[in-house]
Structure formats: C-alpha cells, structure tokens
C-alpha cells in the first residue's frame, strides 16, 4: 500500500525541498519538526523568516547583508578604507 501525505503536509515538504542543500528526506524531517513543535514556536519561526525577508538588505557600499543602509563593517571608524576584502559570496564574510 502506498502512503500519501495530506496536501498541506506535502506542500510543506515541497517548499522545504526547494531550499538549497535540502533534499526530500531533510525536507520531510523539517516538516515533521514543524508539526511536533508548539504553535508558538512555529509562529516565532515564521515571523523570523518574514522579518528577515522584510528588513535584511544589501549594504549600499559593499553589498554585505545588513538591516541598515550601510553595514557595520563600512560604518566602523576603525576600518582601514585602503584595504579591501574580496569574497565570492556574502556568506564568506561570516
């Protein structure tokens, strides 16, 4: 017998599996994690995702991620502006 998930649960798995590095098994684990959690924890996660999407942007000077117009690195008075750091991706800064 073939087991089928409910549509909302299958959609959750599908959405997780669209993320980079998340395969079907990991997406399934994440979906089960969401179901096991309290509504409050799930709401906190959903709000964190929405807040990050709304507030995080790229620094107008260097392209780093920030919640301001200019990132903390570019704002720093201790920064030597004659030296640059070239990275392929923003996550390489962290």
46 with 60: CB under 8 angstroms?
no
Give residues with Cβ within 8 angstroms of 41, minimum separation 6: none
- Kindly report the pTM of this predicted structure: 0.77
Would you kindly state where each structural domain of the chain is located, as residue ranges?
Answer: 1-55, 56-94
Strand partners, 57: 66
pLDDT for 2 equals 66
Backbone angles phi, psi at 57, to 5 degrees: -140, -175
How many of the other CB atoms lie within 10 Å of CB of 66? 20
Q: Which CATH class is domain 1-55?
A: mainly alpha
Per-10-residue mean pLDDT, the chain, length 94:
86 97 97 97 98 96 94 92 86 81
């Amino acid at each position: 017998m073939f087991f089928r998930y409910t549509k909302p649960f299958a959609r959750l798995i599908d959405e997780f599996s669209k993320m980079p590095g998340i395969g079907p098994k990991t997406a399934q684990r994440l979906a089960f994690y969401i179901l096991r959690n309290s509504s409050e924890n799930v709401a906190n996660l959903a709000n964190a995702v929405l807040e990050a999407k709304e507030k995080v942007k790229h620094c107008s000077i260097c392209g780093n991620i920030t919640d301001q117009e200019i990132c903390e690195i570019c704002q720093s008075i201790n920064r030597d502006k004659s030296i640059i750091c070239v990275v392929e991706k923003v996550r390489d800064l962290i």
